[in-house]
Structure 1
Amino acid sequence: MPITKSENGAAVWTHRTPKARIVMWVGWLLLVALFIFCWQVMTEGTIWFFVYDAPRQAADIGSRMFPPKWSYMDELWWPLWDTINIATLGTLLAVIMAVPVAFLAARNTTPSTKFVRPVALFIIVASRSINALIWGLLLVAIIGPGVFAGIIAIALRSIGFIAKLLYEAIEEIDETQIEAINATGASAMQRLDYGITPQITPAFAGITLFRWDINIRESTVLGLVGAGGLGLKLQASINVLAWGQVTTIFIVILATVLVSEWVSAKVRHSLI
């Protein structure tokens, strides 16, 4: 802490020096100015009449959403099954592609830190940078609407997430175990089987289940862009202003997410 002198020459402890306090206040002023500038840029095209009227519109739509139309449930079972399949198959496909990418990205397992690792890291960043809905839009335009486009969209989005967390787990392994296996004259595959895989298996299981849980949420809305699942029914109900059906779909989505949370937690607890 800085020390200043009082009028009688005694040492006084202060949290910051006068110069540091001035710098801090200038920083706060610049931050406020930046916030105001960004706010003006973002709200430049806002029609404030609609903003002021939003509470009334929200109350009107909310009153139309109750009671839920429970008879609509008969049409949701198959889309719900599609949604679960999109999340599950997309996650499995992502795991198949993400595992080799993770090993190529980890410093202690990549064959080349100058050439191969940057390519693997680029794949991870590219996958994580594009939202699943964007992948869905692109794939629906390329291969057409349907569940298959949703599966591929979930897989492409999940590769970066799984590979990033997995390669970090690979880099954090205990190298002394690898050295001990090397001392026995083990091959590269034996080092992988007996030295690396046992150490990263708990992390791998947790990462996969966590991503599957996230994909359940993302797959519920992929239908909004034509990629199958509950999102198709949600979009159709909103288009015809069937708000009772929308409420039923929301309840189904919430229940699905809660069940996936419970299943994910139970499986992680049993495996890790």
Structure 2
Amino acid sequence: MGQLDQSTLWHSNNRRHARIVWGFWFITVLLTVYCWQVMNEETMWVFVYDAPEQGADLLSRMFPPNWLYINQLYEALWDTLNIATLGTLLGVILAFPVAFLAARNTTPSTKFVRPVALFIIAASRSINSLIWALLLVSILGPGILAGIIAIGLRSIGFVAKLLYESIEETNGTSVEAIESTGASRFQVINYAIIPQILPAFLSIAIFRWDINIRESTILGLVGAGGIGLFLSSSLNTLAWPQVTLIILVILATVVVSEYFSAKVRSLLI
């Protein structure tokens, strides 16, 4: 009798799982069909059919790159690196206390302070750096200052989220050992928590710097300085050989920064 009940229960769970899977795929198909209909309504297929020819024509005008134009890009590239580096530094400095306020084991209040910290993290991660730059350019005017602050505001959420998760995963034994000596809350954080999260913190900061290198290359499209300003100007004047060169410079910069950050993070982890 026990074996029969167990077999019946197994078949019941199996059928329930099959119905859930079938329902998931059915909803997925319906959503796909609906999205396809919406896309068809908004798409002018006459341009899509002509896209290969237009793409080939554009590529023919983009090559060869205008290599002589590179002399005008050195300063802009340096500005881009400064935007990414200083913006990352600003974001890391602001994210560090936010992370401690968001972590359950270090926040002063889980009912009031922690929700505010989590809101700051969510707001920072929800707004793209290009939107931050657009808002800041309208307030501060064009230039790299708007780009630095935009990168900094965007970095807060990324760094703080990963960092507060690392804080919550710290070893409680070390914390209890420090607390047993009568240490204050600040001393517990300084001697028990920070040493545990420091490698992760440095790795997160370097990883974010690598991401910011990519994001800072396009901030010039809205006037926030850097090499994106030259990209925007070349696009507006249809100087396609210059556009090709700028894209190659951006690609080389991203590859080098990613290689450097990967090497440094491998040493820290």
Q: 1:102 aligns with which of 99, 102, 107?
A: 99
- After TM superposition, the structure 1 = structure 2 runs for residues 214-229 of structure 1, keeping only pairs within 5 Å, are 214-229=211-226
1:15 is displaced (CA, Å) by: 11
- Greater shift in the superposed pair: 190-199 or 200-209: 190-199
In percent, how many aligned pairs have the same letter?
67
Q: 1:231 aligns with which of 198, 204, 228?
A: 228
1:229 is displaced (CA, Å) by: 0.5
After superposition, give the CA deviation of every residue in 1:73-131 in whole Å (9 maximum; x if it has no partner): 00000000000000000000001110010000000000000000000000000000000
1:184 is displaced (CA, Å) by: 1.1
What residue is the counterpart of 1:92 in the other structure? 89
1:185 is displaced (CA, Å) by: 1.3
CA RMSD of aligned residues (A): 2.0
Paired AA for residue 34 in structure 2: F
1:161 corresponds to 2:152 = no
What residue is the counterpart of 1:244 in the other structure? 241
Helix, strand or coil at the partner of 2:142: coil
What residue is the counterpart of 2:180 in the other structure? 183
- Greater shift in the superposed pair: 181-190 or 252-261: 181-190
Change (3 A) 1:24 1:186: closer
Mapped to 2, the partners of 1:24 and 1:175 lie a distance apart of 41
What residue is the counterpart of 2:252 in the other structure? 255
- After TM superposition, the structure 1 = structure 2 runs for residues 28-107 of structure 1, keeping only pairs within 5 Å, are 28-107=25-104
Q: 2:116 aligns with which of 79, 98, 119?
A: 119
Mapped to 1, the partners of 2:263 and 2:15 lie a distance apart of 55
Q: How many residues align?
A: 263
User: Which structure has the highest helix share of the two?
Assistant: 2
- Greater shift in the superposed pair: 203-212 or 20-29: 20-29
- Greater shift in the superposed pair: 31-40 or 155-164: 31-40
Q: Could you state the TM-score of these two structures normalised by the residue count of structure 1?
A: 0.91
**Structure 1 gap ranges (5+):** 5-10
Mapped to 1, the partners of 2:248 and 2:145 lie a distance apart of 25
Mapped to 2, the partners of 1:202 and 1:32 lie a distance apart of 45
**Structure 2 gap ranges (5+):** none
Mapped to 2, the partners of 1:158 and 1:32 lie a distance apart of 37
